[in-house]
Structure 1
């Protein structure tokens, strides 16, 4: 049996679901017990007591209908039964009771069955019962104590049940909250690590939660060691390569101009490749985050690229506010997107949109763009899509989009590639949470 229809109505938070798991069984148990208690106990007891009271009232009716009773005998019976008889000005034919007096329904049903001459039953409070009777001689009203037809304080068991049910629910929820707190701490630590930050965390809670926490710490340590080893390896390779490149530059400077131009271009391309490798290696390892004003940050990046000779302008800024980022890595990501835009197109525009929950940095160009089927491949390291982007228009090693995507993921964000509706080329959106 499928319960998919119930899923939209279920709470999303773990605390709310735990509260539902605790409260729902307690509530259903209370309803079931209350129903059985009222039906089996109070209903049965009320029927028995009402039947006994109806027989006493019927005895009084028989005495009142007797044409030869003595006043002393009638008064003695009324005194012993603690029943009051009076003659009303008018006889009522409408029953009355309090809205919450459910036992009054049983009392009325029993008394009407046992006393055919009763025209109305008044239960205006929980202390007095008044019967309107049409006798053979004259109409009368009979009054007696309510405790003779139903148990006193019928509501007390329900109030007690609700009170202690609430107390037990609070205790159970407090205990459950204490058990769920380590899970939330683990989730926060994992979320922070996914955003590129390493926060202090120590496993706690139940044995299973501790095991998951220890597994997370082992995984985080292995990943951090991998990042550090990768960075150190590429830094060492870069350092070893820079020395022969420097010697090559010195040797080339001694050649004739017409002989060294192409060789110097090859050396510069090798230098750019090494720098790109290092940028890619540092993407996940730099984890220092700080609050940065989004508008000022984007203006600085665009101004820097413009001063470097790239044909890029700031299109528009919507909203204002700051977001927590590693400024160096995000700057490299935006610069890579701008570099790709002006490399494969002739013009690039940058826009910024700030909302309550996110910051979106958009880079658009007028180049050939990237086909929809190739966009997933384009963000992979060292991807070179010759059919989508003309590689003859500039040197590249296929790391620009990969670095931008890794930076976005390290900050808990995403890189989206779409077609630019305004410029006709590629539209790259870096989206970060606030």
Structure 2
């Protein structure tokens, strides 16, 4: 429970997590090295160099102490200034020290200023405008003395270069590592895409690759997909044979019953018709999506055709709303069978049906609502199971159903990687059935 909050901020994709694993340690190492470098190396070196420069400035001040005029003071210190590579001058009485802005990345300047103020109590101001020059303003009995010398005598030159170099090579190594890692992750994403497509009823080309473990998982997926396809094919072939074998004796029974008197043959013909209906429903359920392959369709146009066909057949059905637009990859024949089953159930148990379509960038939803008795909440799970008859909820005497209508719809939705959701219609008061599949 203590790590639940962390999951909210963690990336979801494999590439993002791999990048985080690569980048986070590099950033931590850079921070540790930078802090250690600044505190232990730069600060100590800068303090030593500052103390040396302060002693040289003190020497110049001591040489000038005995002079009575500014010119005498500068003349007395001329040889020392030349030896120390310094320049000196006195500011006019009304001139203020010129303090320019420092560079934003000059993070050593505050330490230099603090050290010099401690070592040189007479110092009024210090100017560190760039990385090449330092100007000290000292208060003397002759006026304000300006001393100028090389900045490299106070601190290392360009101390930020080490950090810039570290960041550059860290970024370079991280980029190379990520490119290599991407090649290792690509087989995993290809396997995920193939598995997701197969879960939605599509078969995309896939060949195992990558590391030994990823290749083993890929080979297992290919074998599993092949077994499932063989099972579906064998089931379809078996059911085709069963259909042929059973329809022939049923036809002979109908011919034989046609020779009997109508009153005697009527009950038997009803039994034969019920057997025919049961056989057709069972074959529709077993056939599933074997009759069609995935195609890219326009759901709005395709659903309008289904509604038009149902209206021509005398069914009271209407397309009430369409949200979103675009195309979707579905098995048209299978989805058409699912929608027709929902419309048929709605008309069988109610007086009218309303169909709506909603599309988002990731999902497609087809909703069918009716004004019938609906299905109680506690029975909705059982309603999608094969050969389930819910007599208390839906009057089976109103139709010839055998309990496979919703089961066929649920099976088709699952083949597309989706789901069939049952609820209550707020508009009509009956059943609300949603087919939700991914795009």
For the aligned pair, the TM-score class normalised by the smaller chain equals over 0.9
1:34-433 equivalences in 2 (<5 Å): 34-67=34-67, 74-89=77-92, 90-92=95-97, 97-286=102-291, 288-433=293-438
Q: For the residues of structure 2 that align with 1:48 and 1:178, how far apart are their CA atoms?
A: 51
Unaligned residue ranges in structure 2 (runs of 5+): none
Instruction: Name the CA distance, whole Å, in 2 between partners of 1:254 and 1:73.
Output: 145
Q: Deviations over 1:299-330 (max 9, x none)?
A: 22223233334343333444543322111111
Runs of 4+ in 1 over 6 A off after TM superposition: 68-72
Change (3 A) 1:53 1:268: same
Residue matched to 1:28: 28
Task: Please tell me whether the aligned partners of residues 93 and 119 of structure 1 are also in contact (alpha carbons under 8 angstroms).
Answer: no
Instruction: Give SS of 1:9's match.
Output: coil
Q: Note closer, same or farther for the CA distance 1:7–1:252 as it changes in structure 2 (3 Å cut).
A: same
CA distance in 2, matches of 1:264, 1:344: 25
- Per mean C-alpha deviation after superposition, the further-off stretch among 229-238 and 50-59 is 229-238
Q: Which runs of 5+ in 1 are unaligned?
A: none
- Answer yes or no: is the 8 Å Cα contact 1:231–1:278 preserved in 2: no
For residues 306 and 225 of structure 2, what CA distance do their matches in structure 1 show? 32
State the superposition RMSD in angstroms. Answer: 2.1
- C-alpha distance in 1 between matches for 2:408 and 2:209: 36
Q: Does the residue aligned with 2:8 lie in a helix, a strand or coil?
A: helix
CA contact (8 A) 2:200 2:438 kept: no
Tell me, in whole angstroms, the C-alpha distance in 1 between the residues paired with 2:354 and 2:12.
Answer: 40
TM-score by length of 1: 0.94
Deviation at 1:139, TM superposition (A): 2.0
Change (3 A) 1:415 1:219: same
Measured against aligned partners, the alpha-carbon deviations of 1:129-164 in whole angstroms (never above 9, x if no partner) come to 111101133321111111111111212111111111
Q: Paired residues, what number?
A: 434
In structure 2, distance between residues paired with 1:374 and 1:236: 35
